[in-house]
Amino acid sequence: MQLQDILYSQGFGTRRICAGLIQQGLVLVDGQPVLDAAANFDTAALRFAVQGVDWVFHEKAYLMLHKPAGTECSQKPSTYPSIYTLLPSPLRLRPSKGAVQGVQAIGRLDQDTTGLLLLTDDGQFIHRMASPKHHVPKVYEVTTKHEVDDSQIARLLAGVVLDDDPKPVRAAACERSGANSLRLTLTEGKYHQVKRMLAAVGNRVEALHRSEIGQVVLPSDLSPGQWCWLSATQVEGLRSKQPRSAEEAA
């Protein structure tokens, strides 16, 4: 692939801007400046630097973000800063066939919810992960206002009715992790689901943190506001998650 097209595909600007960066000697491959925008490179494991920023070529971007509190999962936030401001410009400007450029969050977390958020520019991957047919488990660490008792856990596991849906919603797993905390696993996503489920059993969410999605666990050394690439193994694990049978999903 031509170097100009490589930079464009990674979100470093229009093809004209990318050509200009190359011609000005601002793009290094293997530590050496390349001045020919049409120079061809094998993109497999290609590493390069643009204006001093090291980059690894990714045909599609798959990453995780440790979402901090006080941020919105929106390109056009209403009150709080957008999570997208936490990402480097190339990830926000990667070209797309759709109306919106750059990586997109797979699902959303409320502004006061922290933890694991996946982002990608792969539309098919977003659709697969968001589809209720696949029941991708998501684990939440919940801090509650009142002490958690056995009856509340039993009701969460058996299923509770939310005000907008007559069909009971139940936790795939639920265990007490402290007097006022529990670890809750869900396989579907509804608006404010965790908060509404806890309210339905007579409790209240004081703090909410998502620690896992499928086989992906938020690393302990990834601080709030930081991001990292997903490994090929993690992506394949999420992609190969098979839909559960109707009996299992019932």
Q: How far is C-alpha 221 from the chain's CA centre?
A: 17
The one catalytic residue in 30, 42, 110, 150 is 110
User: In the chain, helix, strand, coil percent, each to 5?
Assistant: 25, 30, 45
> 240: how many CB neighbours lie within 10 A of its CB?
9
Number of alpha carbons in the 13 Å side-chain half-sphere of residue 178: 8
Residue 207 pairs in a beta bridge with: 143
Instruction: Mark whether 150 is an active-site residue.
Output: no
- Nearest residue to 195 (alpha-carbon basis) of 126, 119, 109: 109
- The token duo for 202 is 């007579």
Residue that the structure tokens 């506001």 belong to: 225
At residue 92, what are phi and psi to the nearest 5 degrees? Answer: -85, -15
Distance CA 60, CA 63 (A): 10
- What is the total residue count of the chain? 250
Alpha helix (H) ranges present in 38-122?
89-93
Alpha helix (H) ranges present in the chain?
3-9, 15-23, 89-93, 123-130, 150-158, 193-200, 232-239, 246-249
Catalogue the active-site residues: 110
